[in-house]
Amino acid sequence: MSDKILTNREPLRSGLDLEAMHRPRARNGRAPDPHVPGGWFPMREHREDEAVDFAIVGTGAGGGVLAARLAEMGFSVVAFDAGPYFRPLEDFASDETAQSQLFWTDRRVTDGENPLKLGSNNSGKAVGGSTVHYAMVALRQRPESFRSRTKQGFGADWPVDWREMWHYYAEAEEALKISGPISYPWGPSRPRYPYRQHDLNAAALTLAKGAEKLGIKWTETPLATLSAPRGKSPPCVYRGFCRVGCSTNAKQSMLVTFIPRAIKAGAEVRDLAMVGRIETDKQGLATGLHYHRDGAWRFQRARNVVVAGYAIETPRLLLNSASDRHRHGLANSSGLVGKYLMTQSNVAVWGEMDEEVRWNKGPPSLAITEHWNYDDSKDFFGGYIHMSQGPLPVEWASVHTGARGLWGKALQDEMAKYNHMVGLKMVGEMMPQERNTVTLADEEDQYGLKVARVTYSWCDNDKAMIEHSLDFMGRQLEASGARNVWRQPDDTNHLAGTARMGDNRRTSVVDTNCRSWDVPNLFVCDGSVFPTTGGVNPSLTIQALALRTADRIQALARRGEL
């Protein structure tokens, strides 16, 4: 191991003690090569007092992609991440609890009628962002989702044509070598996935069996984990620890794909660098950003700033960047920064099979149906997918305690059935509501920055969708042969909104180029620009949008409009 443990005080979450958590690695002209133990890439470095073309805040699905593309276009780029720069081959334990260093566990307060759970399931703190611990589900939104207001009667339209998005989806799928079926059963035709689909585990076979009994289509889930070798990445060996980090680099996270591309193209990555404030001048233009690294606040000058911190940290940074000229926060003349926060419903049904299932083997969601994204005979707006599941023991116990309040012998008896369990879990489109918000709490984090207060309440449409999915998934699971089927009615996961894009500066925060209406050299590049969240996991849409934003920025630059 190249990285020593610093202390012996954390017997559960020992990853928190890794040296990478406490000392920056990307510096002195080099950055870790995640594919080679002890290996380094040469890395170009930039002076703080000379303005770089782009300072990017966040290196996840949005910022990671954008950093690579802008650097490849010849712009000078520094990308900041509050989290560490991991070497998965050397740093990652094969353990659900030790790996919590991947999650954003800084202080955040949640409230509302349905307070959100944050951290492990939707917030990453690492170079590569939450793609380091995501479940790799790589889906396209259906065309109508980009015109929800016009075509479907709810939410807001995206200022983007679906065909343009589908072009960039294909580009993102190719860049990540998504493994998926040859022909996808729903929506307009699309090219073959670059790599062939993965084998099905018993949990996925259960989804398939139930779907066929009910007469709906299913397919192998398109996943960003390899089904064949790619360069120095091996194919997936079905460890099943995807959501606590891939220790073999089969997962095509930003850390092993776009970040190396960015560095090779001349971008600088600064790890353990928490950006606390964007500075603006008298004209209202961004001049750079204040960031905390090595125990001190520093300042990087920049000609343009891109915020890519996802739906909580992005509005938090904009709100924390208030100034005399921008009293209610940066880029907030619409008053919508931090509003229209969306999560996705993630409720589930669970049951028991007589045969051994051993659902922890393989990626968590190997089979999927998008039936209810494409069937419009529903009594609610929006849609959902549902997928097979394979939670590890700590997470599985949390389902029993969270959804059913079990403890004592009742809990242990349920846990004893672990190897026989199956489940179906949805990812569903919750409505954009102005009342669901990220605001600043009267409380500070370890950097002295105001923490985010996240307020969330479900609306009637959300509840109708949840009820529909629980009913349908329950019937499907029973049709597959599962016994004692029960519901987990409260879970949510992915985030979106809080800096929505649109055609009108009064009703949106950024324009179709993801550029702030108010501050022309400020961009947002993450899920916070979503006007609606769609009924699929958001990562591929964030990546596709980042590819598009890079092209848009290049076009603006060529026209002299940057």
Partner 1 sequence: MTDGLPRYPDYDVLRKRNTVSWNDPTRTAIDRRLAVDRDPHTLTEGEFATLQAICDRVVPQEQGPDLVPIAAYVDQELTLDLSLGYRYAGLPPAKEAWHRAIAALDAESVKAFDAPFVAVDAARRDTLLTRMQKGELKDPAWGDMAPDLFFKQHVLVDIVAAYYAHPTAWSRIGYGGPASPRGYVRMGFGMRDPWEAAEAHPGEEAKAARKNRNV
**Spacing of C-alpha 160 from chain mean position:** 21
Query: Hey, how many other C-beta atoms are within 10 angstroms of the C-beta on 176?
Result: 29
Q: Is 217 in the site for partner 1 (CB under 8 A)?
A: no
Q: Is 109 in the site for partner 1 (CB under 8 A)?
A: yes
Q: Is 237 in the site for partner 1 (CB under 8 A)?
A: yes
Q: Is 96 in the site for partner 1 (CB under 8 A)?
A: yes
From residue 128, how far is each of 123, 231, 252 by CA, in Å?
11, 19, 10
- Select the residue interacting with partner 1 from 91, 313, 370, 511 (CB under 8 A): 91
Phi-psi region for residue 380, left (φ > 0), alpha (ψ -120 to 50) or beta?
A: beta
**Spacing of C-alpha 554 from chain mean position:** 25
Q: Is 9 in the site for partner 1 (CB under 8 A)?
A: yes
DSSP 8-state symbol, 476:
H
What residues between 49 and 78 interact with partner 1 by CB under 8 A?
none
- Select the residue interacting with partner 1 from 20, 31, 61, 106 (CB under 8 A): 106
- Comparison of 261 and 420: residue with beta carbon closer to partner 1: 420
Taking contact as CB under 8 A, which single stretch among the options 101-109, 464-472, 493-501, 514-522 is the one that binds partner 1? 101-109
Binding mask 123-162 for partner 1 (x = CB under 8 A): x---------------------------------------
Q: Which residues contact 559 (CB under 8 A, 6 or more apart)?
A: none
Find the shortest distance in angstroms from Cβ 281 to partner 1: 35
Closest residue by Cα to residue 491 from 458, 539, 461 = 458
Q: Is 238 in the site for partner 1 (CB under 8 A)?
A: yes
What residues between 256 and 275 interact with partner 1 by CB under 8 A?
none
Residue whose tokens read 């055609």:
503
What residues between 353 and 372 interact with partner 1 by CB under 8 A?
353-358, 360-362
- Comparison of 217 and 358: residue with beta carbon closer to partner 1: 358
DSSP string, 396-428: HHHHHHHHH---THHHHHHHHTGGGEEEEEEEE
Closest residue by Cα to residue 500 from 453, 426, 438 = 438
Q: Is 232 in the site for partner 1 (CB under 8 A)?
A: no
Residue type, 221: T
What residues between 381 and 400 interact with partner 1 by CB under 8 A?
392-394, 396-398
Q: Is 407 in the site for partner 1 (CB under 8 A)?
A: yes
Q: Is 241 in the site for partner 1 (CB under 8 A)?
A: yes
Q: Is 409 in the site for partner 1 (CB under 8 A)?
A: yes
From residue 168, how far is each of 87, 373, 547 by CA, in Å?
29, 21, 7
Question: Degrees (nearest 5) of the Cα angle 172, 427, 401?
Answer: 130
Q: Is 90 in the site for partner 1 (CB under 8 A)?
A: yes
What residues between 418 and 477 interact with partner 1 by CB under 8 A?
418-420, 453-454
What residues between 335 and 354 interact with partner 1 by CB under 8 A?
353-354
